[in-house]
Amino acid sequence: MKRILSCSFVLSLCLLLALPAVAGAAEKLPPGFIAVSDSTLNWSDAKAFCQQHGGKLPLINGSASLAWGSISSGAAIDGFGAKGAPWPSGLPGDNYWTGTEDAGDPGDSWIVHDHDGNVYVNSLHQSGDVGRVVCVP
């Protein structure tokens, strides 16, 4: 009985110590995002990462495929607001995959990145390039 109580106490203590770290990580996410990767991934792994976290990659104008000329300033980007909007506070300025493929260049997808403090888009190869991942609901 004493051994069961001590194991239970140790397990409870471990869980209590872990909870603040989990809560702290969730609090660091900017509004509109449900998960952020710590490392870079290729596009297919980025999609899988979001599925594992119950979300999806952000879309540009709600579309799965867009060509360059159709992404104008002010184009809506899930979680990021819009192209040209201020970069989300608390999100490191890096390349982040979107779920929108580049219709003008098969095998590429659009990324979102910080350009002088504003949201901007560019295209990367799905298999050869890597980017960070943010997931939206």
The pLDDT score that the predictor gives to residue 30 is 84
Range of 40's domain?
31-135
The pLDDT score that the predictor gives to residue 10 is 40
The pLDDT score that the predictor gives to residue 20 is 28
Same domain for 100 and 54, yes or no, is: yes
Same domain for 69 and 117, yes or no, is: yes
Same domain for 47 and 70, yes or no, is: yes
Same domain for 84 and 53, yes or no, is: yes
Q: Is 117 exposed, middle or buried (0-12, 13-18, 19+ CB in 10 A)?
A: exposed
Digits of tens for pLDDT over the chain (137 positions)? Answer: 444 444 444 434 333 333 222 223 444 788 899 999 989 999 999 999 999 999 999 999 999 999 999 999 999 999 999 999 999 998 999 999 999 999 999 999 999 999 999 999 999 999 999 999 999 99
Same domain for 1 and 41, yes or no, is: no
Integer Cα distance of 60 and 73 in angstroms:
12
Same domain for 17 and 35, yes or no, is: no
Helix (H, G, I), strand (E, B), or coil: what is residue 108? strand
Tabulate helix, strand, coil % of the chain (nearest 5): 30, 30, 40
Helix (H, G, I), strand (E, B), or coil: what is residue 79? coil
Helix (H) or strand (E) holding 16: helix 2-27
- State both tokens at 99: 């779920």
The pLDDT score that the predictor gives to residue 47 is 97
0.75 exceeded by the pTM?
A: yes
Integer Cα distance of 70 and 66 in angstroms:
6
Integer Cα distance of 20 and 68 in angstroms:
43
| CATH number where 83 lies | 3.10.100
The pLDDT score that the predictor gives to residue 28 is 72
The pLDDT score that the predictor gives to residue 129 is 94
